Structure 1
Amino acid sequence: MPDTNWGAVNAPATVLWSAPGKLRDYDELILRENNDPAGWSAGMDPALRLWLVGKADTMALYGEPVVILERHGAWLKVAAVEQKTRLNEQGYPGWAPAAHIVNSPAYLDALKNLPRIVVVKKTAPIYLDEALTQAAGEAPYQTRLPLLRENSGFVEVRLPNGGNGYLAGEDVKAESALTFSRSGIVSEAGKFLGLPYLWAGTASYGFDCSGFTMRLYQSQGITIPRDADEQALAGTAVARQDLLPGALLFFAAKGGVGQIHHVGMYIGDGMMIHSPNSTSTVRVEAMDSGSYGDEYWGARRYSP
């Protein structure tokens, strides 16, 4: 990434929007510099959540690197480089408040040269001291930060603003240690049962269907595309009779032959876990329940 055109997210999570500008007062919670994605998501009823469709595109996590594509007043059009998409070869595009994006040479250098740790809890406090007493924010699930030093009880990391921070050792895992297992990915998914659906969500404050599956595979050290229709073209096709836990299940309009509109993850015994829609939560149900039986498109696996 050219140094002058890159940045990193300096908020727990930021939404990447289809266009710049605030469209409703409620979103001040997520748009302000010191934002509150947890409160923003938790405070929305189904109607407020449904409003996001077509207006929000994805979500980038704390520390996630971006390429700056365009500037418009207090907004930046960016590409989230670790979210694969055919929409932009540099990463998933969208508009974010400029206050959420920082450009720190120290952080860029750390990204290039240091290993990273990964947050494995739903959220992990970030501290300013080794004793882990001065909390200064939080990092959601699958946040990745450059590792400066590891101790028995904590890790020291480079923060997006160029400073140093600390996380409890039990809250993180080395990125290099992430490996796929069928039981492991099912266990990771179960952490989020009951979490309300969030259109464009890729964070532990709320997931859409493909944001959920993307982060689950990231937890196993595997990168898959951001959107369901592209996830369906990656990996290897799996016949229905050969399904194993961890395979992704895709559903399409027109009796399963039209446009793909949903993805869930197979967990065994004909069951899937998924984040269905703006009126529901992450849940387990039969892959043939409701309209899903008629709309089944196929399955893919991404592990060896």
Structure 2
Amino acid sequence: MKYTYYILMILMLFACGSKDDAIQKANKLSQEIGKCFAPDRREAIYTTSFSMSSNGSLVVSGETSLPEAKLALFSSLEGLNVHLVDSLVLLPKDKMGNKIWGLINLSVVNLRSQPKHSAELVSQAIMGAPVKILNKKNSWYQIQTPDKYIAWVDEAALNLRTKEEMTNWRNARRVIFQSHFQIAKDEQGKEIITDIVAGSILEVQSENSKYLLLNLPDKREIRLNKTDCIDFDLWKSKEIKEPSMLTQLAKEFMGRPYLWGGTSSKGVDCSGFVKSVYFMNGIILARDASLQFLHGDTISPEQGFENLAEGDLVFFGRKATENHKQKVTHVGMYIRDGEFIHSSGRVKINSFDPEAKNFSNYRTVSWLGGRRVLNRIGEEGIIKVSEHPWY
């Protein structure tokens, strides 16, 4: 097992001692397990607490979305030589029943940091995206999206499904909508049913020479032009043969408004923009700029922007000092000839070249380096849709 040596070292460190300090040692063990398995709370849930029962048992409470983290924790705690009571909830919670999967049911849904409409908008998800259901509070569901991001959505956003129903969906004939935005009508082309955005995944019910009759996740029917869609299996098998494919699509976003948490063709934040560009080319990137910064081949500022290649992600923020750690706050995508495209106020193009009319001194002095993700497709944080089990 990948973490066996790691766990053994922890056990050796904490094996000695009395039951009086069992809670303190358990907390230290849990912290180490959390660092190993769940380093970022945006992508994993791992919260624990410990108490001693009246009969001297160590009660382990909390919740986690990671079965492997729970297994590692209890394996480590056995070294304390105390009886363990398992009250650590493994998500999804039992109350969810067998419908622990879902499809996004609206064109674009807002993902919140907490189960309420007034909470921070942290991300978005597009119609037809598969999600895992972790928890429920009132009319809100805690979900995990294919890029591992965890957030809350209102129940209207979801069509809940069982594991078997998700298998049927994956085996069905599907298409992905490629135009940026459209109003979708019923089979007769008369009544408006919904709006729809690029990246929406829909099941095919029937077709004729011009139109597709499609099912939304909740089985509402819409009619779309064939020319606006592509067969999903064909689309996900396509390769990025030239980085110019990314540049071409990125430029189609020019002028779109910046939206904090935005990931759709209606509006995007900086990381949502590059994520959308790559997703429409079949690649799932990590959600936030600071997460995207962790993946891909590094091009350091010392190497200079001349060493960047088309399609590289370029990151900006606060550089490390004696008193502060480096902090990634912004991301864009390198085009060529010193230029990069990014969402800042709106989607626009700036340059690293001081002689260029669109030179940005602010971005140049805050440049933290680049990440070449095209060389790392298939690795953690740079996953092909065709290789993601949820699709």
Range into which the TM-score falls when normalised by the shorter chain: 0.7 to 0.9
Q: Which residue, out of 121, 125, 130, partners 1:65?
A: 130
Aligned residue in 2 for 1:35: none
SS at match of 1:293: helix
Partners of 2:266 and 2:165 lie apart in 1 by 25
Aligned residue in 2 for 1:197: 258
Note if contact 2:260-2:268 (Cα within 8 Å) is conserved in structure 1: yes
Aligned residue in 2 for 1:127: 185
Q: How does 1:57-136 map to 2 (within 5 A)?
A: 57-80=122-145, 82=146, 84=147, 91-104=148-161, 108-129=166-187, 132-136=189-193
How far residue 284 of structure 1 moved from its aligned partner, in angstroms, is: 0.9
Matched positions, count = 262
Q: What residue identity is the alignment partner of 1:229?
A: S
Q: What residue identity is the alignment partner of 1:291?
A: Y
Q: After the TM superposition, list the runs of 4 or more consecutive aligned residues in structure 1 that deviate by more than 6 angstroms.
A: none
Note if contact 2:318-2:366 (Cα within 8 Å) is conserved in structure 1: yes
Note if contact 1:57-1:94 (Cα within 8 Å) is conserved in structure 2: yes
Q: Which residue, out of 350, 353, 367, partners 1:296?
A: 367
**Higher RCO structure (Cα 8 Å, ≥6 apart):** 1
Partners of 1:107 and 1:205 lie apart in 2 by 30
Q: Which residue, out of 172, 179, 184, partners 2:229?
A: 172
Larger radius of gyration: 2
1:17 aligns with 2:17: no
Aligned residue in 1 for 2:341: 273
Partners of 2:320 and 2:365 lie apart in 1 by 5
After TM superposition, the structure 1 stretch with the greater mean CA deviation from structure 2, 240-249 or 175-184, is 175-184
Note if contact 1:110-1:158 (Cα within 8 Å) is conserved in structure 2: no
How far residue 158 of structure 1 moved from its aligned partner, in angstroms, is: 3.2
Q: TM-score, normalised by structure 2?
A: 0.61
Structure 1: tracts of 5 or more residues without a match: 24-53, 85-90
Q: What residue identity is the alignment partner of 1:190?
A: K
Aligned residue in 2 for 1:244: 309
Note if contact 2:114-2:152 (Cα within 8 Å) is conserved in structure 1: yes
1:225 aligns with 2:286: yes
Partners of 2:165 and 2:272 lie apart in 1 by 26
Structure 2: tracts of 5 or more residues without a match: 1-91, 353-358, 376-391
CA deviations over 1:99-122 (Å, ceiling 9, x no partner)? 221225696344321353222211
SS at match of 1:291: helix
How far residue 202 of structure 1 moved from its aligned partner, in angstroms, is: 0.4
Q: What residue identity is the alignment partner of 2:171?
A: N
How far residue 274 of structure 1 moved from its aligned partner, in angstroms, is: 0.5
Q: TM-score, normalised by structure 1?
A: 0.77
Partners of 2:222 and 2:161 lie apart in 1 by 15
Partners of 2:158 and 2:165 lie apart in 1 by 12
Note if contact 2:210-2:225 (Cα within 8 Å) is conserved in structure 1: yes
Partners of 2:370 and 2:211 lie apart in 1 by 40
Q: How does 1:141-152 map to 2 (within 5 A)?
A: 141-149=198-206, 151-152=208-209
RMSD between superposed Cα atoms in Å: 2.5
Note if contact 1:104-1:160 (Cα within 8 Å) is conserved in structure 2: no
User: Sequence identity, in percent?
Assistant: 28
Q: What residue identity is the alignment partner of 1:20?
A: P
Aligned residue in 2 for 1:234: 295
How far residue 151 of structure 1 moved from its aligned partner, in angstroms, is: 4.5
Q: Which residue, out of 114, 131, 139, partners 2:196?
A: 139
Q: What residue identity is the alignment partner of 1:265?
A: M
Note if contact 1:147-1:158 (Cα within 8 Å) is conserved in structure 2: yes
Aligned residue in 2 for 1:254: 319
Partners of 1:14 and 1:114 lie apart in 2 by 24
SS at match of 1:4: coil
